[in-house]
Structure 1
Amino acid sequence: MAGLPRSPGFRVDGQRALVTGAGRGIGLAAATALARAGAHVTLAARSENELRDACALIRAEGGACDHVVLDVTDSAAVNSALSAARPFQILVNNAGLNRPKLLTEVQDEDIDAVFDLNVKATLYVARAVARGLLAAKLPGSIVTISSQMGVVGSPRRTLYCASKHAVEGMTKALAWELGPAGIRVNTICPTFIETAMTANMFADPTFRGWVTERIALGRLGKTEEIMGAVVFLASEASSLMTGSALMLDGGWSAA
């Protein structure tokens, strides 16, 4: 009788991970999860104070962490910072924003801001990380924090949905480009998550009710509920998964 199959690991010991928008919320949760799984994590965002504090917390519990102050919407800055760094085997493209409005009320500035961060910055960082991996002939995992709005539609979300559907398309195409090099590309699609940034939005009981009625689990998501998915996609446990969207939507898209 042959032996039992080897269980794939959920560890990423010794790997270098880059997380954008990492000073708080989902980005900080992702970085914490990867550090606890053994990665050396580089936190990237525009606020040095937040990054310094976040790194201190990760190091305090034994994690390996550094940070880089970076505006990911600046292509030249991204290329400069990442070309000077050793290759990152894990990327969590988390930086993003939403400006919920009816399309008839959306201004050009809104379109530019949302697409600059949600789409163009995601491409800039993924491109730079992919270049580093290909040059070093290393495998890797690129994970973008997308949204349930990348696979469905919703009122007052036309602009946001357009940006996240773009991310889903990018992910599928890039999976084919990078697959032969052993670089996997996937997204995580959360439902509405309770964070400091969304607190004011959910203080409105009407809106909160509208949202929870559309989630099969009947509640909002928590940042901690993203952490396991990040480690799964970064590790060999998901070694056959690429070009896919991991739905963490509480059943929203099952309706």
Structure 2
Amino acid sequence: MRFQDQAVLVTGGGSGIGQQVCFAAAREGARVAVADLDQERAEATAAAVRQRSGEAHAFRVDVTDPTSAMKFVTAAEASLGRLDVLVNSAGMREIVPVLDLSFEEWQRVISVNLSGTFLPSQAFARRLVALGRPGRIVNLASTLGLMAAPKRAAYTASKHGVVGLTKQMALELGEKNIRVNAVAPGVVRTPMTERYFQDEEYAQAIRDIHALGRWAEPHEIANAILFLAAEENGFVTGSILTVDGGWTIGKKM
């Protein structure tokens, strides 16, 4: 198994893609640290991993707070005995026209998606460097880190930021033997996006923008994340892996 006895830390692990990363990593032998702002959701994911005979520990973490991010890395290392992989999956989005977007909402999305990627990554990397150990970081970007869409100014800006941050961290941390990559999913059916699928006309529009004619399920993105995190792919860093069912390759006319 690719992650046998390795420690995999996952922010946003209480639901959606992050939860599926926890499940997939545990199936491949990892010890998992499940981080979420919602303690109950983190506990539920950890309990589900343990029910499948895996090892998992739950942590309440505010990824926008430097102290909380640092304490999470410290506590995860204490619980798991080591540090190997960090997956930054915590995130949120807005659906507001740019002219109506409040500064408070702008700040909230930027803080969670961009600062919430930077702070855990910095804390994780600092500890690895102090230990003299290699490691891998995988960030959750988006197709909207590569392009734009209506009513997503803060989300689009934050995910473009995640793409840039991924490349910057990969450049600086490569000499420390820390690889940093990101995935850029198309539309994924998660609790955060579930409202999209309640309107059949909108759901069909989602199908139509993807060359494969469908949206993604969270486990498909989790599989891509673990591909980037696997030791066997040790020469991959600074890459943005587009997992979008063909959304960004072109429009169907």
The TM-score, its normalising length taken from structure 2, stands at 0.93
Q: What are the superposed Cα offsets for residues 25-65 of structure 1, whole Å, 9 maximum, x if unpaired?
A: 11100111111111110000122222222111111111111
2:192 equivalent to 1:201: no
Which runs of 5 or more structure 1 residues have no equivalent in the other structure? Answer: 1-9
Q: What are the superposed Cα offsets for residues 147-173 of structure 1, whole Å, 9 maximum, x if unpaired?
A: 111111111222211100000000001
Instruction: Tell me the amino acid that sits aligned with residue 226 of structure 1.
Output: I
2:181 equivalent to 1:186: yes
Cross-structure match for 2:68: 77
Alpha-carbon distance between aligned partners in 2 of 1:120 and 1:196, rounded to the nearest angstrom: 22
Cross-structure match for 2:155: 160
- Secondary structure of the residue that 2:209 maps to in structure 1? coil
TM-fit CA distance, 1:85: 4.4
Alpha-carbon distance between aligned partners in 1 of 2:198 and 2:38, rounded to the nearest angstrom: 26
Cross-structure match for 2:240: 245
Residues 103-252 of structure 1 aligned to structure 2 (within 5 Å) = 103-252=98-247
Alpha-carbon distance between aligned partners in 2 of 1:145 and 1:172, rounded to the nearest angstrom: 13
Instruction: Tell me the amino acid that sits aligned with residue 159 of structure 1.
Output: A
Which runs of 5 or more structure 2 residues have no equivalent in the other structure? Answer: none
The TM-score, its normalising length taken from structure 1, stands at 0.92
Query: 1:84–1:58: structure 2 CA closer, same or farther, 3 Å change rule?
Result: closer
Instruction: Give the share of equivalent positions with the same residue, in percent.
Output: 37
TM-fit CA distance, 1:84: 4.8
Superposed CA RMSD in Å reads: 1.3
Cross-structure match for 1:27: 18
Cross-structure match for 2:6: 15
Instruction: Tell me the amino acid that sits aligned with residue 139 of structure 2.
Output: T
